Chains A and B, each alone.
Chain A
């Protein structure tokens, strides 16, 4: 019988490690979440005295809620564009909801749920400027070139529209320059423009010319979490929350909003 006892001991030890592969949990199983958002984009992610606020923050809160994590157990943190992949890989943040465009290249490092919204590059001009109807009309006009942003390239290089570049450190600075007459137009993602447009005498042209798929960034390989987040986004559109949030943040900007669920990218 000693043989049997020894056999049982050895086999149950073998069995135990064979059965429970050590796997990092995904967002679907977390009790609390750290979510990376932007801190300097009005309407999307803006850090104020009462913490973070904006469309991205509300979307992230809704998704977390559908994953079973209430507002009290979410910690928002500023995640700048340059560190998003690293922050996810290191586990510093569990989820990134920060105007994070899905691209095939990024998909090799990050698992993207969503998109939760498809933004489009569009153009913003002063309220009394009726001469710009689409991106081609920017020929010869002064557009804002924000340090670190590629939006100007999409006009001048990708579409070969001979606009003139005027450098500015941030989009907020572009707005000042536009009002002050040092610029004629600002061209970037429509939701970013809409966030700035509120309360200013400006006009969004409503001539979109690219698709920017804003995704929810997750740790690479968290397919379970990705599927859950996609389900949450589907529900967000079905129950009217998406429409309400879009109107809450961008309703007064004059931007034409899409209130139907976007085409998902597929979890990989």
Chain B
């Protein structure tokens, strides 16, 4: 709008309108609408006041709309990561774990043969195999739910379920042959090993990669939604500031106009409306910043580490099973030793410099590193999934739980080293006893490590829940706040200008 205070300007403005002047009389007859269109009303004081009010209310409406959208985005964002996709993605991680542990149980059963006193025993291994089968089925259902809008992902889930059927048949054959053979522990006959090779190859080459990719893919979707929603919240916050500032400027302008025109110092109602707007914008901006922060924290300290620890756990279990495969199938011992190394490296990678990268060098290097390392700020001396974890768990409960996990893992690796030394010396019985014996400790130590890892994930789970609870708490009540505040501000504006307009009646 053009500020038109001087009479010359008013004349200039009216003469700028075409068809004025000569046709003045018929226009006057045409009534108020025409007056409105021609803009003459703008020149009157009540007209000016009304214009101020109209613009102010428009800005107020804009602020209300922007606030509603921004708070809606914040709500969606909490919903996605805290309640819908986030937990579901974590649940699909159970698929990889269950499948991998099924194969581990089969390897144990075949390795212990007729000696039911080894390991956790044949019956309990079978029980655990069945339980993992059920869990895999459940996790696949979760994955299928996430895949409703993604045909490629759904196909991957279907392929896993089809493959699982074939795997069960092959594993069943191996276990049947094994029972018929009734072999002493550690010496399964060739046909048992051959049958198992088919099953475990299917698991390793087809099922596990697909299961892993499902979690990665759904996790990627959460990452993307999270990024979009977070930037939507921040954009919303910027717009709240812009529309809020606009509204404040209009309120101040109205105040000044009234003060000048009516020679009054302040209009109390408008002052209140201005103050109210200021508070609303400040609180809403702070709320949106806090929401963006809570959600980022839920992802960074909760979702991401939970997911990568569940990967570390699954990889660790399958590496542990590679030890029994190493003992079970001497023909492939080199391969299983290599896969053990590869899996260990993906959990905890050390730069070995010019030293050959094999278990014989890895074991002492990792033992030395873990003996010295304490979680804290600064770059960790290793990479891999635990390297990522070290960057998140720098202090507090996380760091303590992570430190315990690493020490437990160190024991697990030390057992592996001893077992391989025994096997390399040709003492298979001692190696088998160390790995599968109930008293010698490899299983007990691995379970302790697993418990420490689960506890660490639990600490992240708490951080996640806290962040989500804070986000939910922050939003509570905000369904009504913007509307109520806008209504109050509108009311104050009306109260402020009504008496001034009344002077012209």
| Chain B count of residues within 8 A CB distance of the other chain | 46
A 9-46 to B, binary, CB cutoff 8 A, 1 in contact else 0: 00110110011000000000000000000000000000
Q: In the complex, what distance in Å separates the CA atom of A108 from the CA atom of B339?
A: 22
Known contacts A104-B346, A134-B334; decide if A7 and B383 are in contact (CB<8 Å): no
Whether B155 is near chain A, meaning CB under 8 Å from some CB there, is yes
> Is B205 a contact of A260 with CB atoms below 8 Å?
yes
Whether A1 contacts B3 by the Cβ 8 Å rule is yes
Map CB proximity to A onto B244-280 as digits: 1 under 8 Å, 0 otherwise. Answer: 0110011011000000000000000000000000000
Roughly how many angstroms separate A157 CA and B353 CA in the complex, as a whole number? Answer: 14
Contact with A along B192-221 (1 / 0, CB 8 A): 000000000000011011101100110110
**Can you list the 5 inter-chain pairs with the closest CB atoms, starting with the nearest?**
A263-B209, A157-B356, A104-B349, A7-B249, A104-B383
Closest to A157 in B: B356
Tell me if A158 and B245 are in contact (CB < 8 A). no
Whether the Cβ atoms of B342 and A234 lie closer than 8 Å is no
Residue from A104, A108, A136, A263 within 8 A of B212 (CB atoms): A263
Cβ-defined contact, B242 with A15, below 8 A: yes
| Given A261-B210, A261-B213: 14 more A-B contacts, CB < 8 Å | A104-B384, A158-B358, A159-B334, A159-B358, A208-B335, A210-B338, A223-B223, A230-B216, A231-B152, A234-B156, A238-B152, A260-B205, A261-B209, A267-B216
Residues of A close to B41: CB separation below 8 A: none
Q: Are B152 and A235 in contact (CB under 8 A)?
A: yes
Once bound together, how far apart are the Cα atoms of A86 and B238, in whole Å? 38
Known: A211-B339, A227-B224. Contact between A136 and B238, CB under 8 A? no
Shortest Cβ gap from A136 to chain B (Å): 7
How many interface residues does chain A have, given as a range? Answer: 35 or more
Checking A4, A260, A267 against B249 with a beta-carbon cut-off of 8 angstroms, the contacting residue is A4
For residue B223, which residues in chain A have a CB less than 8 angstroms away from its CB?
223
Residue interface mask B403-439, A partner, CB < 8 A = 1: 0000000000000000000000000000000000000
- By a CB distance below 8 angstroms, the chain B residues around A224 are 224
Task: Offer 9 A-B interface pairs, CB within 8 angstroms, sorted by A.
Answer: A4-B250, A7-B249, A19-B235, A104-B383, A224-B224, A231-B217, A260-B210, A264-B209, A264-B213
CA distance A223 to B155 in the complex (A): 23
> What distance in Å separates the Cβ of B170 from its nearest Cβ neighbour in chain A?
15
Q: Does B61 make an interface contact (CB < 8 A)?
A: no
- Is B217 within 8 A of A3, CB to CB? no
Contact call B349/A264, Cβ cutoff below 8 A: no
With a cutoff of 8 Å between Cβ atoms, the chain A residues found around residue B462 in the complex are none
Q: A19-B235, A209-B335 are in contact. Are A8 and B246 (CB under 8 A)?
A: yes
User: Contact between A227 and B220 (Cβ–Cβ < 8 Å)?
Assistant: yes
Asked if A202 CB lies within 8 Å of chain B CBs, one says: no
- Secondary structure of the A contact surface, majority rule: helix
Report the Cα distance A258→B206, complex, angstroms: 9
Collect the chain B residues with CB atoms within 8 Å of residue A107's CB. 383
Q: Mark A202-240, 1 if CB is under 8 A from B, else 0.
A: 000000111100000000000110010011001100100
**B351–chain A nearest beta-carbon distance, Å:** 6
In the complex, are the beta carbons of B249 and A12 less than 8 A apart?
A: no
Does any Cβ of A come within 8 Å of B12's Cβ?
Answer: no
Q: Is the CB of A3 within 8 A of B384?
A: no
Cβ contacts under 8 Å, A7 to chain B: 245-246, 249
Set A3, A105, A158, A264: member contacting B216, Cβ < 8 A: A264
CA–CA, A134 to B383, complex, Å? 32
The winner among A7, A12, A107, A258 for most chain B CB atoms within 10 A is A7
Q: Check if A260 sits within 8 Å of B383, measured CB to CB.
A: no
Known: A1-B253, A224-B224, A234-B156. A15 touches B239 (CB 8 A): yes
- B241 interfacial by beta-carbon distance below 8 Å: yes
Is B42 in contact with chain A by the CB < 8 A criterion?
A: no
User: Is B54 an interface position by the 8 A CB rule?
Assistant: no
User: Are A234 and B152 touching (Cβ within 8 A)?
Assistant: yes
Closest chain A CB from B292 CB (angstroms): 13
Chain B contacts of A261 at CB under 8 A? Answer: 156, 209-210, 213
Tell me whether B1 is interfacial, beta carbon within 8 Å.
Answer: yes
CA distance A164 to B309 in the complex (A): 43
Q: Which residues of B contact A268 (CB under 8 A)?
A: 388
Asked whether any CB of chain B lies closer than 8 Å to the CB of A70, the reply is no
Return the CB mask of A236-268 against B: 1 if under 8 Å, else 0: 001000000000000000000010111110111
Distance, CA A209 to CA B219, complexed state (A) = 31
Flag whether A135 is at the interface (Cβ < 8 A).
yes
Q: Does chain B have a CB within 8 A of A153? A: yes
How far is it, in angstroms, between the C-alpha of A224 and the C-alpha of B342 when the chains are bound?
27
- Residue pair A11, B242 in contact (C-beta under 8 Å): yes
Determine how close the nearest CB of chain B comes to the CB of A157; give it in whole angstroms. Answer: 4
Whether B3 contacts A2 by the Cβ 8 Å rule is yes
How far is it, in angstroms, between the C-alpha of A227 and the C-alpha of B252 when the chains are bound?
Answer: 50
- State how many angstroms separate the Cβ of A25 from the closest Cβ of chain B: 15
Cα distance, A246 to B219, chains bound together (Å): 29
- Minimum CB–CB distance for A3 against chain B, Å: 5
CB neighbours of A8 from chain B (8 A): 246, 249
B220 contact set on A, CB distance < 8 A: 223, 227, 230, 267
Determine how close the nearest CB of chain A comes to the CB of B60; give it in whole angstroms.
14
CB pair B1–A264 under 8 Å, yes or no, is: no
Given contacts A211-B339, A224-B224, contact A4 B246 (CB under 8 A): yes
Q: Which residues of A152-195 have CB atoms within 8 Å of chain B's CB atoms?
A: 153, 157-159
A236 to chain B, nearest CB (A): 11
Residue B400 interfacial (CB < 8 Å): no
Which A residue sits closest to B304, measured CB to CB? A268
Are B209 and A262 in contact, CB atoms less than 8 angstroms apart?
yes
Cβ of B448 under 8 Å from chain A: no
Task: Report Cα–Cα, A206/B156, bound state, in Å.
Answer: 28
